[in-house]
């Protein structure tokens, strides 16, 4: 079996090394942020959940939908949380289609460390826009992933589009 390496993810993995176990959850911190604050990657806040850009994206526009409550399994979601998460997922995908024109999406959650969750203590759903050929020679040969869009620029475009869609 061949192995594909993703060395650009080492920054993400390293961000969790030697963390104080009592340190506040990154998603709980994000839930308290104002989407209008340029130092925050929160795009939109609903009543029970929020949309946030991934700080270490696989592709530009990589979003996450996160419940406000600090829970780690989808079975803990209330009906209202479940409904809002999927409404925000649909809203996010529509906004990404309108502004970035992806040709497909990866969508889902890694529940638990064994499933590959980098942050396994707070449930979150990934929405990853995909384009034909978005995996190219750069990560494979150059050991680098090129994200050509600025996160703050993507955030502003998404916020504008979401306001128009609501």
Q: Per-residue pLDDT for the chain (166 aa), expressed as one digit of tens each?
A: 554 555 555 555 555 555 555 678 999 999 999 999 999 999 999 999 999 999 988 889 999 999 999 999 999 999 999 999 999 999 999 999 999 999 999 999 999 999 988 899 999 999 999 999 876 444 444 444 445 578 999 999 999 999 999 9
- Residue-by-residue DSSP string for 106-121: EEE---SGGGT-SS-S
* 68 in any annotated domain: yes
> Does 43 map to a domain?
yes
Active-site choice (62, 70, 122, 124):
124
Q: What CATH number has the domain bearing residue 144?
A: 3.30.428.10
pLDDT value at residue 138: 44
Name the pairing type of β-strands 104-108 and 63-67. Answer: unpaired
What's the pLDDT at 49?
Answer: 98
| 69 torsion bin: left (phi>0), alpha (psi -120 to 50), beta (else) | beta
Structural domain contains residue 24: no
Domain range enclosing 79: 38-165
Residue 53 belongs to a domain = yes
Nearest to 119 by CA among 12, 11, 8: 12
Q: What is the pLDDT of residue 149?
A: 72
Known catalytic membership, residue 124: yes
Structural domain contains residue 126: yes
* pLDDT score at 23: 76
Q: How many domains does the chain have?
A: 1
Does a structural domain hold residue 144?
Answer: yes
- Assigned domain for 52 exists: yes
The verdict on residue 108 lying in a domain is: yes
> How much is the pLDDT for 11?
59
Q: What is the pTM of this model?
A: 0.81
pLDDT of residue 68: 97
What's the helix, strand, coil split of the chain in %, to 5? 35, 15, 50
């Amino acid at each position: 079996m061949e192995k594909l390496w993703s060395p650009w993810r080492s920054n993400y993995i390293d961000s969790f090394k030697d963390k104080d176990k009592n340190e506040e959850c990154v998603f709980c911190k994000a839930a308290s942020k104002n989407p209008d604050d340029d130092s925050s990657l929160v795009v939109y806040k609903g009543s029970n959940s929020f949309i946030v850009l991934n700080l270490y994206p696989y592709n530009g526009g990589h979003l996450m939908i996160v419940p406000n409550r600090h829970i780690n399994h989808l079975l803990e979601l209330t009906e209202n949380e479940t409904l809002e998460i999927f409404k925000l997922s649909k809203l996010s995908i529509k906004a990404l289609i309108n502004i970035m024109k992806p040709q497909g999406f990866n969508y889902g959650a890694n529940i638990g460390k064994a499933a590959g969750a980098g942050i396994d203590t707070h449930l979150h759903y990934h929405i990853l826009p995909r384009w034909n050929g978005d995996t190219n020679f750069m990560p494979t040969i150059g050991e680098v992933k090129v994200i050509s869009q600025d996160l703050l620029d993507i955030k502003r475009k998404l916020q504008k589009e979401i306001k128009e869609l609501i």
